[in-house]
Amino acid sequence: MFAESSSVEIIRDSSSFGLPLGDPAASQPHLDLGRKQTPVQTPQSHHTAVLALGANLGDRARYIEAAVSSLDAHPSIRVVDTSFLYETAPMYYIDQPRFLNGACKISTSLSPHALLDVCQQIERDLGRTKEHVPRNGPRVVDIDIVLYDHEQVTDGERLIIPHARLHERAFVLRPVCDMMPTYVHPVLQRTMASLLPLTMDGSMTRVMPVKDRMWHWGQQTRVMGILNATPDSFSDGGQHLDLERALDTARDMVRAGVAILDVGGQSTAPGRVEVSVEEEKARILPLIKAIREDPITQETPISIDTYRADVAKCALDAGAMIVNDVSGGSRDPQMLVLVAQRHCPFIVMHMRGDASTMTRLTHYEGGIVNDVRMELQTLVRNALAHGVRRWNLILDPGIGFAKNKQDNLLLLRRLPELVDHCAAGMLRECASPEVHDTTQLHEGPCMSLAHIPVLLGVSRKRFLGDLVHAPSSDPALRMQASIAACVATMATGCVDLIRVHDVAQAMDAVRTSDAIWRN
């Protein structure tokens, strides 16, 4: 009977800002869709365009990934950035399944109409048909041109740029904001971020495809259980060298409610000696295969804790589906190539140096929070530039890696600053301070860390032993301190996963904390 919400939008013409009405810099306040415009004449060889992506039939994530990969494979197109993925309720024609939506930014030498032809051909190649399908009805994939440079194109119903309904569709505008929140709409003369509040959809959630399920960020904190198949890990070294014993631990973790089993074959603790690639694979592959074959653990996602691409490749082939790289893809040049090819979730951790040098690299000239943020931005930019999708990224601030006790505490205290106070489950916009030019579609990826899910790994770390006045005690006795650190940061709302040894105790803490803060 009554509307769910109301809004007021005030749009002024150029005279309100001291500009003459005829000034060419001032665009009309409303979209003029009835006026035929001259086709775009663009002298430069490359143009930047933004494409909206959607699917609501079959394996939605696979179809969207296939569409982006097909675009990138075209000789005249290069994908330079991607948004997060969102699950949304259908709009206009509501009697159909929920949609998965996203967007990508491309560099292309194609004209707008030639680009449209390519997009429609990719849709057909992936199985989309419009025959006997109602307008705005279900589809395996949809690729729409949203923006093209700073141009305007009106060609009847065939092509309208900017997209005619960009400003009213949260499922299009929200992904665009992930890549370019301060870009100014060529017609409405408002930033993408300023348009977003008028379109907010309460049923919209940011998601990550993991195995055959969707993880909805912001609804719960997930627990990652540590399974180190090593003799020298700082806390549980030697406990899981025996395959059956390691499998028993994995079963206990799954029964307790763990979301991910993190398998590692090499200790990265300070001072540890690196093992060979073959030794690392010999430690982790039997365990991964056993987890995959066991009826209790086989459905639980496995992450491989390694910075070596060859180890990660073999682990993914054996059944792992997430790569957890302590170097964030910086130590092995083939790691980002592999992750991009496999389209798998990728955990980008911050560290400096390696196990033998990290303790000497703890000086942060710009301050721990600022420098870690900047260095993570560089890692994220490199990942995106190699074709890793933004929707597959997870951040880890690297607590205990190249950081002293005070640095660790300050980083934990100010954790929301790493993601611009914009948690993965938050849908309000946070404009990136790095973006200054608001009238051009830049070719490079957006470096903002806003809304990227955060993994926190503080379990049994040495600085916790210092805090509880037991620095030389058994690391396993630091469980309570570990849980306290996790709960303190979960209250900020920006921690989406915690990596722990003590899964059962962590699950109790997570359920309680989520009931207070998330629900």
pLDDT at 46: 86
Q: Which of 347, 336, 454, 465 is nearest to 400 (CA)?
A: 465
Amino acid at 482: S
Q: For residues 389-411, b (16+ Cβ closer than 10 Å) or e, as one string?
A: bbbbbbbbbbbbbbbbbebbbbb
Which tokens in the block code for residue 249?
């631990």
| ∠ CA 437-385-260, rounded to 5° | 120
Where do you find CATH 3.30.70.560 in the chain?
Answer: 47-210
Kindly tell me the burial class for residue 377, based on how many C-beta atoms sit within 10 Å of its own C-beta (0-12, 13-18, 19 or more).
middle
pLDDT at 509: 96
> How many whole angstroms separate alpha carbon 398 and alpha carbon 317?
27
CB 143 within 8 Å of CB 66: no
Q: What stretches in the chain show pLDDT beneath 50?
A: 1-43, 232-235, 237-238, 431-437
Assign 3-state DSSP to the chain and report helix, strand, coil percentages, each to 5.
Answer: 35, 15, 50
47-210: which CATH number, 3.40.50.450, 3.30.70.560, 3.40.50.720, 3.40.250.10? 3.30.70.560
pTM of the model as a whole: 0.87
Domain 220-518: CATH architecture, name and number where available? Alpha-Beta Barrel (3.20)
Element (H, E) at 442: none
pLDDT at 430: 57
pLDDT at 354: 85
Q: What are phi and psi of 287, to 5 degrees?
A: -70, -45
> How many whole angstroms separate alpha carbon 253 and alpha carbon 224?
9
Q: Which residues are the active-site residues?
A: 461, 499
DSSP alpha helix (H) spans, 15-127? 60-73, 112-125
pLDDT at 92: 77
Neighbouring residues of 451: CB distance < 8 A, sequence distance ≥ 6: 84, 178, 206, 419, 422, 423, 424, 426, 430
pLDDT at 8: 40
Where do you find CATH 3.20.20.20 in the chain?
Answer: 220-518
pLDDT at 242: 83
